[in-house]
Structure formats: C-alpha cells, structure tokens
A and B are shown apart, each in its own frame.
Chain A
Amino acid sequence: RMKYFTRMKIRRVYEWSGKPRSFNRRLKTYDYDSFAISVEGLSKIIINTGQHILIEGYDEDNPYVAKMKAVVQWFMRVSELPVNKLKLLGRDPHPQEIFYYEYRNCDNEVNVESILRPVKHLDSNDPFPDSSDKDTLYVKLSWDSKVFGVVNSTVMESPAEPAPASSPPSSTPRGPSRRVLPTPDHAIMQKASLGEVGCSSVGTPANVEAESLHSATKLSASKCLSAKRRNATARTPGVRKRLELSSECSHKDFKMQPLCRIREQQGFLYISNTKSPEVENEKSPMVTETPRSSKRKSAMLVSSRIKKQLNLLENHQDLNSSGEEEDEFVPSKNDLLSSSEEEGQDEDGPNIDDQVTAKKFRYVATGSRSSRSKQKSYSSARTQRRTPAKKISPGTPKTPRHATPSIPIRSLQTQQPANILEEARTRLHVSSVPESLPCREQEFQDIYSFVESKIIDNTGGCMYISGVPGTGKTATVHEVIRCLQHAADMDEIPSFHFIEINGMKMTDPHQAYVQILQKLTGQKATPDHAAVLLEKRFSNLAPRKETIVLLVDELDLLWTRKQNVMYNLFDWPTRRHARLVVLTIANTMDLPERILINRVASRLGLTRMSFQPYSFKQLQEIIMSRLNKLKAFEEDALQLASRKVAALSGDARRCLDICRRATEICEHSAADPSSAGLVGMSHVMEALNEMFSSAYITAIRCASTQEQLFLRAVIAEFRRLGLEEATFQQVFVQHQALCRIEGLRPIGVSEGLAVCQHLGACRLLLLEPSHLGVLQRIRLNVSQDDIFYALKAD
C-alpha cells in the first residue's frame, strides 16, 4: 500500500492496486499497471495505464491533461496554446478540446501527488458532441509547439469504453503499449529549447510527456528539476511499460520536493511522506498541450474525468520478499536516454536472475517546463532513484534499531531506612533533591526574572552563570525551570520548552547540535546536518509557537578552535524570531574574556551571574534544611563540618559527603547500631581526617625499611647536589652508605631498583621510565619536611 498526502484541500490517498506486474532488477523497482486514488469522502478511483488523467497545474480550474502510459503523454488545452498560434487551427477550438502534444522535449514523469483524477477522452474521429459533460475531452489534432497536425490514430488509441468516472474500471487487458509518434522536428526543437533554458519564467507551462516504459508503478520522490532535458527518442515501444509519474516544479522547488521513503513490509508498501515544510508553499504545476482537432473552445473545468484503459501486464511476477527492508532515496540525474537504456536492460533482468529477494521501489520524479510565450519549451527532468541503502545479508545479526535505554529492574524491593541515622543518610545524599534550595534566593530571583521576562516578551537572550563546583548552579537553574514550568501550567506565563545539554556528557563539541536537535524535534542527524537544520529553524521567519529555554552546562567544553559551536549558541538568540533563551554554566568567572574570541564574547552579552562559594552559615543551613528537623547531629558537629568545608572549598557536595560519612562512623562506633546516639564532634572529626588528610605520611610510615632508607638517601643526595633531582646511581651510593650506618646488609642494584619502583608506583617518588635502569632520574613528590616528620615519629 502506498499512502501519499497532497497538500491540496482534498486529501488524496494513493495506493498501488493489484500485484506488481514485473520487477526491475537493476533499479530494484516494481512495475504496476494501475494505482488507485481515493479521495476522502469519495469512492476510490483506479488509474490504469493508458488512461487519461488530469494533472494539477497553476490553474486550478484547468488541470493539465495527460495520458497515463508508462510515462505520461501530455496534452495541451486550448487555453495553453499561444493565442497567435490558434489561428493556425482555422476554426474555433472546442472548449473541451485538447491537443496531443508531440513535442518531445518535455518531461514525461509526473509526481503521483499531482495526479488529480482520470478524465474521459474521445477519439479524434468523433464530432464534438453537444453534451456539456465537462468531464469529457476531445482529441482531434496534435500540437508540436509549432503546427497542428492530425493525430496518428495508433497513438491516440482510445479506450474501448470510457468507464464511469466514479467507478473503478474493470481492468481490461490491453495490448502492450502504445507507440509514440516520432517527433519530426526534434532536433530543431532541441536547439530551440536549448536556447530557452536560461529564461524560464513564471507561468511557463510544463510539458509532461507520458511514456510507456516499464509497467507498473514507480514512484519516486521528485527532487530536482534543474533544467535538464530528456531525450525522448530513445524510447522503445511495446514491451516496456512503465508508469512514470513526473511532476513539474519551478526552480524553487528544487529541494522542496517531498522525499518519500518507501518501506516494504510483508508485502505491503508504505510510502510515507516526509515533506519539508517549505513544500507547502509551492505548487507543482503541470501543463499539457492539446493537439488541435476539435474546434470548440470551452473551459475545461475542475472535475472532469477521463477514463482510459490500460494495458494489463503480461506477466505478473510474484516477488514476495520476506524481511523488512528500508530503502532510501538517492537523487540521481538521469536523462531519458540513459534511463531508458537502463530500463531496456532491466527488462531482461528478472528473466536472467533466478530469485529476487527484495522488493524495492523507485520513485521517479521529473519536472518540465516550457515557455509559453515563445512557444518553446524545454524540459527539466531529473529522476530520482532510490538505491538500496542496505542489503541485509542473512548471516549478520540485526541491528537493534529501536533499542530502549534502560537498566534492568531490581528483583527485590529496596529497604526503607530503619533508624534515624539511616534516614539522615538518605536525606544527606547529594542526589536527594530538596523542595527548595536555601541560600540561593537572590540568584534564583535573578535567573527567574530573566527567563520569565524573556518568555513573556517572546524574545531571546543569553545569560552566563559561573561559580566553583558544588555551589548549586545547575540545581538553581533547574529549580527556576521547575517554578517556571509550574507557572506555565497555571497559565500565568506562556508555555515554553526546556532543553538541557551538558558539555561533559558529549563526546565532541559538535554533538551539541545533535543533542539539541534531538531534544527539540526528536530527529536524529549528523552534527553538520543538525547544525544546518537548527540554523534554519532559528532563522526561519515563521514565528515559533513557544519559547525555547536552553541550558548549556559545562560551557567551556564546547570550546573548539573556531568556536563555531559557541558562536551559534549565542547567535541564535539574537535572531528576530528565534525566541531562544540560552543559560550557560561554567566554572570560571572570566571564561568569556579568557577563551572566547571577541565576536563570540560579544554575543554572549553582559548578563552574568556568579555563584559565590557557600559560607559556613549557608552550609549549615543547607544541612539543616535537608535534615528537616531530624535530630541526628549535635549542633557542634554540624558547625565543625561546615566550617571546615567553607574554609577549604565551599563545596556543598563535600559538606554533605562528610556528614554522611560521619553518620556511618557513628553507627559503626556504637556497639548496637539501633541504639547509636547523635553524631558528635569526634565522628565528624574522623570523617574529616579520612577525607582531607593526605595519605603520604601514613604511607611513608608503613613503607618497608629499605623504602624508608631510600627516601632518606634521596634527601641526602639532594642536599649534597643542591638540586631537587638526582639519578638512581647517585642515590644508590647514598643508600649503600645509609645501610652501613643502620647496620643493614647493603642491597644489590636490582633490589634497589625494585624498591625505587615501588615508591614510584605510589607516587612518593617521580621517576623516569624504568628501562633507563640506573640512569633514571628521581624527584620527590612529597616535601622533604613530610618525610622527616614521618620518619622521626617512627
């Protein structure tokens, strides 16, 4: 099944009907001989090859007329003919008259979505009936863009019976395909249209030419439409049948053609339309020229339907493939010559190759245009081919495409805290988010009002927040967002979209684009593509629905040599319609001055805020608020912890960790854990010692005798040399002497090296690579005083 949505008021659904008639191996496409259009509320229309159809054009009331073959045979309406050329007709054209358009240089592939419906068509020999049936068109003459001619009856082979418009025709089998008239003045026309290429103008009708090549349907997203000429002569009649649908677009359409993904699953086809929004503004006009054979001029209006029959296909090849495949479109420019050659070869494909495993589809789109005023036309054609993106060989495992990130669920329930200390420990964990952040009221207020004002004013802006680690920067911003979200839910402020990225949580600064895009739209893209999409999104004039608040944590890691990531982040908010608020967080206050080049720093602006390290009172308040009146700590113990941390770093995390560790020590020191008392000074003291005291002194005290001697030897040698560096050989001499003084047996060189390496591994010594042996240089990593202190107390 294929679904396709046009952007007309009426939604049409297109789908293939019947089984594929043949399979084109080379192009991996299927050929169908009919497809159905169902309009909402109306019944389904099946369009078969050979039928005449109306194709959407500039003039909504006068859709272009064409005939479905493998490709499309275009017809001209009277209104499309140049007025001065109408004289050549020698009579008044019938309003319903159309002319077989013989000019070959137009596109004969149309986009399915531009097909409106079938129309009835009468043969050239019949006189114009008086009926006012607007759904019937008459073909009498042909028009080759210069003169009218008589339609070759073989070409115009009319349907045996026009079927009623609304009911699907019982697909009457027909002879293979229609021949197409050779174009007499092809070469001339080619020249003419060559000259024409540059001056395409608004309102040029497109010539779409229908060609019957491979049967069946090939749909392709039409991209393209540079003025490319199709060479129609290479068409081979008969056997090859293909329905190629082409759409004509103006140059502007180039990129905006819908991209289609066809996905085949268990025998069904889905064509999903991933139109870019720009497409919506465009129309794909189709023009046909009608041959002159009727004299009546009439306005051929909207819902005329011509039905024609089509050729049923000879051989149905049932090519059911199992397995899921996804193909992607790769646009390729083919002119007709090459494509028809390919098609010719492809014809043989299925016969030669034994079993086809995969169904692939091709969606061909072409566009054409012709200059009406000058009676010259050229066509631009480009076919877009879908090439198989992946061939899944049976052996390899399938890539998990939609793996959901998750951690297994635990099998046993978590235990709830059993006593006061455990409860306190849970509350003191950094991860337990408090309801409100104490001690950051001013900062909270500033950020809140900044973001709120931007949201209300529908503008954008940047803010830079700095502060040493553990001062609540990220937590405060999160709380601001929580409050704003709440306000938005209460309808106090317009709703907004919050996105957070963290420089540390990405592998490369450019991944920032990918993450922003993904959080914004859910799309996945490469960094470059994501940057382009975001750029477009933020510079787009269309007003955004809601403001985006972007939090960039660890900003300094987004630094690149050209600083383009940062530049973009700060540039987007300045766009007029971006409505982007960027909050950036980093550690150093002078980051913009230090690492940002001027144009980036300038865009960051001067809205800055710095978070001071917590004072001991604030730390105390934070712990108190977390404990929330839980009596687990002695007053003094808390004060000790907070004073100590405030003196060292003012890092709230550290303070919480110390208190948490103190509860553990308290619990362990008590004989019975359940009856443990309050956490006292001694417990906090022990925790502080554990965390802040350097292990060097203990390490030296715990080292073996020879290791201690070696350290002394190092100091002795440093003193002798007056330098802070010596080779092993020099130190070793001192070491031997010390051994003798201490009454120990002097050690060998290799043993001495082992001792040295051991100290080096602990980083009490700094060593050169060990392969240098006795030549390696030695430096101390601890102060000499520490070593003396450690060894004296021994």
Chain B
Amino acid sequence: YSEIYLIKCSLFIIHVSVQVQQILRERFCERRLPDRPEGVEAQYKHLLELLRRTAIHGESNSVLIVGPRGAGKTMLLQCVLRDLQKEEKVQKNLLQVHLSGLLQTDDRTALKEITRQLHLENVVGDKVFGSFAENLAFLLEALKKGNRSSSCPVLFVLDEFDLFAHHKNQTLLYNLFDVSQSAQAPIAVVGVTCRLDVLELLEKRVKSRFSHRQIHLLSSLNFTQYLERVWTQLSLPDSFPDKKFAQEWNAGVKTLCEDKSVEEVLQRHFNSSKDFRSLHMLLMLCLSHVSVAKPTIKPADLLEASRMYFADATANMLHGLSILELCLVIAIKHLNDVYEGEPFNLQMVHNEFKKFLHRKSNSMYNFEQPVVMKAFEHLQQLELIRPVDGSTAKVQREYQLMRLTLDHSQIMEALQKYPQCPTDVKQWAMSAFG
C-alpha cells in the first residue's frame, strides 16, 4: 500500500514539476503576454486610446513606438491589441496588417504582403497578381475609394520601422502617411523601432506627413523594482492547481530573492542591462536546474546561471588551443605591447616566439616554419586574429598583416584556467617584456 502511495506521490510530483516548468517557461520565452504591462501604463493608455479612436471614430493616426531592445515595445503593442479585440465595438471593425522590416525588405514584397493580408480582390488564394506598379496603384486606389465613415479601419504595424525608411524613395511610408493625413480610408500606422534617431531617417516630405507622435519606452526602473520583477516573474500564480506546492514554491522564491549573494548577482545584471529579455535568459538557466528531485531554485543555481551567462565565449575558445598556438597568441600579445597595437605578420610572431625559446624555454622545442604557419592559420580560422582590411591582396601569407581580436585581459584569464600550462610559458605571458 505504501509503495503504491509512494508511486502516486512521485507521479504527482512529476506532474506538478512539469506544470511549473510549463508556466515559467512560457513566461521566460515571452510566449504569454502579461495580464497588464507593468511600468508603462501611460504609454499603454495613450496607444489604446489612439487605436480605439481609429477603430471607433475612423480617425487616421500614425505613431512610433521607440525604445531600446528588450524594453517591451512589441509586448505593449500586443497587449493593446489583445485588449482592443476584447471590446465589442472594435472587434469586427479593425483590419490588421503586420509587416516587419526584416521580412519585407523592399516595397515590392511589402505591397504584396499588405494586399495579401487585406484580402483585396487581386488576391487569389495566397497569390497576389500584377506587377509592382499595378499593385501600388491598386492599393492606393482601394484606400482612396474608402472614406472615414464607411470603410473598415486598417491598422498597419511596421515592425523594425527604421528598415522601411531605407526602401527606395520611401514610397511605402510616404503613401501610408499620406493616406493617414488625407480623407481616405481610415488607417493607423504603428511603427516599432529601437532607433532613437528614426525621425532623421525620414525624408522631409514623409516626415511632414508623419504626425510626430512618438511613444517612448524608456524604463526608469530602479533596483528594488527590478528585484520585485524577478520575484513576480518566478512566483507561481494563484490559479496553480496544487495550492500547497505553489505556496512552498513562492516562499522559496522569496527567500531566494532575499539572499545576499543572489542580490549581488542580480545587482550585477541590473547594472549591466535593464532589459527583461536578458533577465529571462538568466532565469531560464536557473529553471532548467529544477527537477522532481530538487523542486526549488537555490541561490547556488542562480550563481551558476550567472556564471554561465557572463562567460566569455572568446576566452573560452583559448582553452582549446594547443600549446604552440597559445604561445603564438602570447607572442602576439607581447608584440602588441611593444608596437602599441600595430598589425603584425607571421614572421614577426615567429621571431618573437623564437626569442622566447632561445632565452628560457626548457619545456618547448622550436617548430618548423610550416608547423608554425599551420598553427597561425588555425588562429585565423578561429578568428582570434584577423587580416587587416585591404592587405589580403597579393601578399605572401607569411607577411600578411594581422590584428589580434582578443583583449589582454581575456588572454590572461584564459591562461589561468588553461589545463597543464607549462610554467615558463605562464611566466613569459606575465612578464612585462617578451
């Protein structure tokens, strides 16, 4: 009986743990919108009102949502759209067209996409017929025929708005903004961009037609609020089926957030970046340590996650180098010190290496030139060194000028961790002069 009970219990725990993973992962991967956007209430209200007026009054508008990466621009827009769709009056009265500057790389494809999403009459199935010129004329004609009171408002969402400004003549933007400023079909143009100087990209005629409405998402978040966000992000909702587990979990999260070392780690993250995408990445690393056997997040998990998060990928690559390659890197470092960052070539590096061998090495032997060359080429393949621009022309490989793409601190850090590094090599690296 007790065995069956145990099995039942463990099954139940597995079930709960799966649920925890699911809920939190959805949050961290930004698959689920928050119930209310936090910290951007004013912007939320502004945008909601604006789009509602377009939908209900047929008022044309144009607006830009500007904010750094990970500030929640798309989240804000999605929340607004979700809440708009809940309203009876809006629901059937708003057509949406979503474009992205990364997908619609020119006006031709953008026009096709608009026509397709609007299901205009020159669309059959998923195909849009007609040439670029015809499509443009068709769309403009369609919008021109509409009027404020009878046509269905259209919402144009232009993600990565700044990329649309690079299209030829900015034809699409001109026409969208022109429609939004003339008595045609009501449209709302919402641009989403992270560039603060986006208005300077617009051509003067296009700029004049844009309403100059900008919604800035610049979070003036302080560390206490940040900690609160971490806490809310990690805690389980009240609607979680197993109340008891949820309570335990939330209590665990609370103690976690109050831990001194955790606070330190989070402070470091906060200092480095305020955006939530990087926070989510960190928490995701913690979450993956949660299992049936260990159904809580311990401070050590967060520390480990943070270590992984801040790990320097380039420095890590140095750990995989052979001793010869490492020696070459050290020789390059010394050359950089002597010549103050001037470019070097294989001959110089080899010379420097030979000087070292000559002076004090007992553990290393001189290598043939081809072997050294091979090691040098390997460094180039790893992009630890990179040829100086324009010198690739017709120079022999030995004399091709190169630059090191590593910082000295990275080399020293890697040396400390390099397994079984010969002591004389280490000393050579640390000595001030080659």
Interface membership of chain A positions 404-448, coded 1 if the CB is closer than 8 angstroms to chain B and 0 otherwise:
111111111111010000100110011111000000000000000
A668 touches B195 (CB 8 A): no
Residue of A407, A508, A515, A705 with most chain B CB atoms under a 10 A cut-off: A407
Shortest Cβ gap from B148 to chain A (Å): 7
B185 touches A407 (CB 8 A): yes
Shortest Cβ gap from A552 to chain B (Å): 14
**Cα–Cα distance between A455 and B11 once the two chains are bound (Å):** 91
**Cα–Cα distance between A399 and B376 once the two chains are bound (Å):** 61
Residue of A422, A433, A660, A751 with most chain B CB atoms under a 10 A cut-off: A751
B214 interface residue (CB < 8 Å to A): yes
B150 interface residue (CB < 8 Å to A): yes
Partner of B212, one of A657, A698, A762, A764: A657
A651 touches B208 (CB 8 A): yes
A410 touches B313 (CB 8 A): no
Shortest Cβ gap from B223 to chain A (Å): 10
Kindly list chain B residues whose C-beta atoms are within 8 Å of the C-beta of A707. Answer: 273
Stretch at the interface among A80-88, A90-98, A773-781: A773-781
Given A406-B145, A761-B194, A754 contacting B272 (CB threshold 8 A) = yes
Kindly list chain A residues whose C-beta atoms are within 8 Å of the C-beta of B410. Answer: 748-749
B352 interface residue (CB < 8 Å to A): no
Nearest B-chain residue to A709, judged by Cβ: B271
A157 interface residue (CB < 8 Å to B): no
Shortest Cβ gap from B78 to chain A (Å): 20
Kindly list chain B residues whose C-beta atoms are within 8 Å of the C-beta of A403. Answer: 120-122, 129, 138
Partner of A747, one of B123, B127, B272: B272
Contacts of A385-414 to chain B: CB distance below 8 A: 397-400, 403-414
Q: Please report the total number of B residues contacting A with Cβ < 8 Å.
A: 93
B213 touches A661 (CB 8 A): yes
Shortest Cβ gap from A780 to chain B (Å): 12
Kindly list chain A residues whose C-beta atoms are within 8 Å of the C-beta of B184. Answer: 431
B204 touches A468 (CB 8 A): yes
B169 interface residue (CB < 8 Å to A): yes
A234 interface residue (CB < 8 Å to B): no
Partner of A425, one of B59, B129, B138, B270: B59
Q: How many A-B residue pairs have CB under 8 A?
A: 235
B220 interface residue (CB < 8 Å to A): yes
B148 touches A414 (CB 8 A): yes
Kindly list chain B residues whose C-beta atoms are within 8 Å of the C-beta of A505. Answer: 136-137, 140, 171, 174-175, 178
Kindly list chain B residues whose C-beta atoms are within 8 Å of the C-beta of A507. Answer: 107-108, 132-133, 136, 171
Stretch at the interface among B290-298, B359-367, B401-409, B425-433: B401-409
A695 touches B66 (CB 8 A): yes
**Cα–Cα distance between A755 and B406 once the two chains are bound (Å):** 17
Kindly list chain A residues whose C-beta atoms are within 8 Å of the C-beta of B407. Answer: 729, 732, 749, 774
Nearest B-chain residue to A418, judged by Cβ: B57
Contacts of A749-770 to chain B: CB distance below 8 A: 749-751, 754-755, 758, 761-764
B252 interface residue (CB < 8 Å to A): no
Kindly list chain A residues whose C-beta atoms are within 8 Å of the C-beta of B208. Answer: 469-470, 651, 653-654
**Cα–Cα distance between A409 and B186 once the two chains are bound (Å):** 11
Kindly list chain B residues whose C-beta atoms are within 8 Å of the C-beta of A379. Answer: none
B57 touches A415 (CB 8 A): yes
Shortest Cβ gap from A512 to chain B (Å): 11
B38 interface residue (CB < 8 Å to A): no
Shortest Cβ gap from B216 to chain A (Å): 5
Kindly list chain A residues whose C-beta atoms are within 8 Å of the C-beta of B394. Answer: none
A408 touches B204 (CB 8 A): no
B253 interface residue (CB < 8 Å to A): no
Contacts of B1-57 to chain A: CB distance below 8 A: 45, 49, 56-57
Shortest Cβ gap from A793 to chain B (Å): 13
- Beyond known contacts A400-B122, A704-B271: 20 more, CB 8 A cutoff: A405-B138, A415-B89, A422-B57, A425-B59, A426-B57, A430-B182, A431-B183, A505-B137, A505-B175, A587-B204, A690-B213, A694-B196, A699-B216, A706-B271, A751-B310, A763-B197, A773-B383, A773-B405, A774-B406, A781-B197
Q: Which residues of A contact B (CB under 8 A)?
A: 397-400, 403-415, 417, 422, 425-426, 429-433, 468-470, 504-508, 511, 514-515, 554, 557, 587, 651, 653-654, 657, 660-661, 664, 668, 690-692, 694-696, 698-699, 701-707, 729, 732, 736, 744-745, 747-751, 754-755, 758, 761-764, 772-775, 781
Q: Which residues of B contact A (CB under 8 A)?
A: 45, 49, 56-60, 66, 68-69, 89, 92-93, 95, 107-108, 118, 120-125, 127, 129, 132-133, 136-143, 145-146, 148-154, 169, 171, 174-175, 178, 181-185, 194-197, 204-205, 207-209, 211-214, 216, 218-220, 268, 270-275, 310-315, 341, 383, 386, 403, 405-407, 409-410
